Amino acid sequence: MAAKREKSFQFVVIGGGIAGVTCVEELFTQVPSADVALVTAGPHIKAVTNFRQVSRTVEEFDVEERPSRVLQEKFPALTVIHSAVKALHSVETEDGGVFGYEKLCICSGGRPKLLIQDNPYVVGIRDTDSAQEFQKRLSKARRIVVVGNGGIALELVYEVEGCEVIWAVKDKAVGNTFFDAGAAQFLIPSLEAAKPQEAALCKRPRYTTEENSHKHGGWTNPGSALGPDWHQGIVLRGAEQVRQSDTSGECGSCYALHTHLPLFPVSSVGSWPVYIQLTNGKAFGCDVIVSAIGVVPNTHPFLPGNSFALAEDGGLQVNDHMLTSEPDVYAAGDVCTACWEASPLWHQMRLWTQARQMGCYAARCMAAGVLSKAVELDFCFELFSHQTRFFNYKVVLLGKFNAQGLGSDHELLVRCTKGREYVKVVLSGGRMVGAVLIGETDLEETFENLILNQMDLTPYGEELLNPNIDIEDYFD
Ligand code: FAD
């Protein structure tokens, strides 16, 4: 055990993902003379680049994995400590360091929920290391089973080539985390269609390092979660050297199985290395099972010896100032659960947009404490908004885009042009409360305004989505 090194900082941030890095950057904006330490397990940090505020709440940005020195060059007063935190009284790292703080922000992200622990055939994808491990396994695979229905599963079934993909989902529609059945129907033909040639450019350069993740108590210290372009620069090709578009029959095609979650993977029976049994009674042999069923907040090093209030999903509870139940300890990003009384049009989803927003707002709250300033809940928490790409379509989600929490108290208006756009509006009491926009609809700003101003749209009825009316002009 290395000798203990003790040092105190005004601000300590744990985690070099989007939440942690944004938090550090904003701390220096708020308090330029700040004394900040970033403690992170991985050798790289995640930087938000090309940030663009598309409208009041919709934002667009790229994420780049960079060596931490890039951050240190930008903020010479920043100390970066590359070691995993193993305990929190002061902050105690695995390499023997002990760091005191005035204010601390935990941004340690999450790790993939696995269907089953310690099964060599079940993989979760979270960071660059696990994506590369999956790529290695995939290169020898003839068939994989993808379990889950969120963004990662959606991207995988679209991107994987040269390998049969069986997609096991428990919901009635694929992509249910983001879409209803109508939107899923719109997207499904993209799975069978030829994919556009990828631009050779990888927007997010990756850096390699000699330093690997460290095993600690059977748990690998994770790097940062990957973002939406995580598969760029990684060839997701199986052992069958055929392009998905050239295939016929079963090779490279996807099956959406409307089942409940698989019960258990059963190893080593028959000719496949692993078999998975689904609750619809079917069993499939395959080479690899990808567990894409969500993340578990990375809280474990921080819990012993402290009394953090945890939310039902295992996240650190935070109030409307991103403060946990422990004094002077804040949290942001995938590790935390928003427990304030949220705006009726906002809900938490563990996405990189929210990791950025929470990291930034947490820093403002931490700085406000030091500067004795008041700070109000950031406007970004008024309305849920998320812009991304699925199956090469631009996707914008606003408010209660899937009528979350509305029960039967809502109506839907839908406009769909096959292969071009899918527009869905959620109305409650005649007012717009959510929208799904797939394709180049150019409607995000107008719909965001209509949602935020809660105008009574009853007089417009279905005309609201009439393609012959320039709605932007109409409501200007
Ligand atoms: P992370 O990015 O996970 O960062 C956590 C940081 O904490 C890391 O630097 C890690 O090294 C460090 N750390 C962890 N434990 C410790 C410790 N004990 N001590 C010190 N440091 C520690 N979101 C989208 O919006 N759109 C998408 O399309 C999308 N696709 C995704 C695809 C994949 C494959 C994955 C895995 C996630 C995807 N996400 C997507 C989710 C998004 O990436 C996360 O919500 C976001 O990155 C969370 O940021 P974070 O900073 O909270 O955590």
The yes or no reply on domain 113-192+226-294 and CATH 3.50.50.60 is yes
Whether residue 100 contacts residue 8, with contact meaning beta carbons closer than 8 Å, is answered with: yes
SS3 150: coil
For residues 86 and 102, give the distance between their C-alpha atoms in angstroms, rounded to a whole number: 19
Q: What separation in Å is there between the alpha carbon of 110 and the centre of ligand 1?
A: 6
Topology given in CATH for the domain delimited by 385-474: Enolase-like; domain 1 (3.30.390)
- Best residue for ligand 1 mutational test, from 126, 306, 330, 352 (most atoms within 8 Å of Cβ): 352
pLDDT tens across the length of the chain (476 residues):
455 678 999 999 999 999 999 999 999 999 999 999 999 998 889 989 899 998 999 998 888 889 999 999 999 999 999 999 999 988 899 999 999 999 999 999 998 888 888 888 999 887 777 888 888 889 999 999 988 888 888 888 888 888 888 888 877 666 667 777 788 888 877 776 666 654 333 333 333 333 444 343 334 556 666 655 656 666 667 776 543 432 222 222 233 333 334 445 554 456 888 888 887 888 888 999 998 888 899 999 999 999 999 999 999 999 999 999 999 999 999 999 999 999 999 999 999 899 999 999 999 999 998 898 999 999 999 999 999 888 889 999 999 998 988 888 889 999 999 889 999 999 999 999 999 999 999 999 999 999 999 999 998 888 888 888 777 777 76
Q: What is the pLDDT of residue 249?
A: 26
Q: Give nearest CA residue, ligand 1 atom 14.
A: 108
Question: Can you read off the two tokens belonging to residue 146?
Answer: 């993808």
Question: Can you read off the two tokens belonging to residue 34?
Answer: 């700040």
343, HSE (Cβ side, Cα atoms, 13 Å): 16
List of residues 6+ apart from 330 with CB closer than 8 A: 103, 104, 105, 106, 318, 321, 322, 323, 324, 362, 365, 366
Amino acid at 357: Q
- List the chain domain ranges: 7-109+298-381, 113-192+226-294, 385-474
Q: Give nearest CA residue, ligand 1 atom 8.
A: 224
Max distance between CA atoms of the chain, in angstroms, equals 73
Strands 421-428 and 431-438: antiparallel
Q: What's the pTM value of the predicted model, to 2 decimals?
A: 0.85
For residues 454 and 451, give the distance between their C-alpha atoms in angstroms, rounded to a whole number: 5
Q: 43: Cβ below 6 Å to ligand 1?
A: no
Ligand 1 atom with minimal separation from the 127 CA: 36
Amino acid at 120: P
266, HSE (Cβ side, Cα atoms, 13 Å): 13
Question: Can you read off the two tokens belonging to residue 256?
Answer: 């959406």
Q: 39: Cβ below 6 Å to ligand 1?
A: yes
SS3 168: strand
Q: 227: Cβ below 6 Å to ligand 1?
A: yes
Domain 113-192+226-294 in the same topology as domain 7-109+298-381: yes
Q: What separation in Å is there between the alpha carbon of 45 and the centre of ligand 1?
A: 10
Q: What separation in Å is there between the alpha carbon of 262 and the centre of ligand 1?
A: 26
Q: What separation in Å is there between the alpha carbon of 334 and the centre of ligand 1?
A: 7
SS3 49: strand
Cα–Cα distance list, 69 to 74, 81, 108 (Å)? 8, 11, 19
Q: Using N-to-C axis directions, what is the helix angle for 352-371 and 18-30, rounded to 10°?
A: 30
Exposure pattern of 69-82 as b/e (b: 16+ CB <10 Å)? eebeeebeebebbb
Strand partners, 433: none
List of residues 6+ apart from 281 with CB closer than 8 A: none
For residues 289 and 165, give the distance between their C-alpha atoms in angstroms, rounded to a whole number: 10
Q: Using N-to-C axis directions, what is the helix angle for 151-159 and 181-192, rounded to 10°?
A: 20
Using alpha carbons, select from 414, 409, 381, 400 the residue that is nearest to residue 451. Answer: 400
Whether residue 76 contacts residue 33, with contact meaning beta carbons closer than 8 Å, is answered with: no
- Best residue for ligand 1 mutational test, from 226, 290, 392 (most atoms within 8 Å of Cβ): 226
Question: Can you read off the two tokens belonging to residue 414?
Answer: 């839908």
Q: 124: Cβ below 6 Å to ligand 1?
A: no
Q: What separation in Å is there between the alpha carbon of 331 and the centre of ligand 1?
A: 14
Q: What is the pLDDT of residue 222?
A: 63
- Best residue for ligand 1 mutational test, from 39, 45, 108 (most atoms within 8 Å of Cβ): 108
Q: 84: Cβ below 6 Å to ligand 1?
A: yes
Amino acid at 260: H
For residues 125 and 230, give the distance between their C-alpha atoms in angstroms, rounded to a whole number: 10
Q: 176: Cβ below 6 Å to ligand 1?
A: no
For residues 314 and 296, give the distance between their C-alpha atoms in angstroms, rounded to a whole number: 7
Whether residue 365 contacts residue 321, with contact meaning beta carbons closer than 8 Å, is answered with: yes
Q: 47: Cβ below 6 Å to ligand 1?
A: no
Cα–Cα distance list, 363 to 102, 107, 215, 233, 360 (Å)? 13, 11, 31, 33, 5
Q: 224: Cβ below 6 Å to ligand 1?
A: yes
For residues 139 and 181, give the distance between their C-alpha atoms in angstroms, rounded to a whole number: 32
Q: What is the pLDDT of residue 251?
A: 27
For residues 383 and 56, give the distance between their C-alpha atoms in angstroms, rounded to a whole number: 10
Q: 434: Cβ below 6 Å to ligand 1?
A: no
Q: What separation in Å is there between the alpha carbon of 355 and the centre of ligand 1?
A: 8
CATH code that applies to domain 7-109+298-381: 3.50.50.60
Ligand 1 atom with minimal separation from the 85 CA: 19
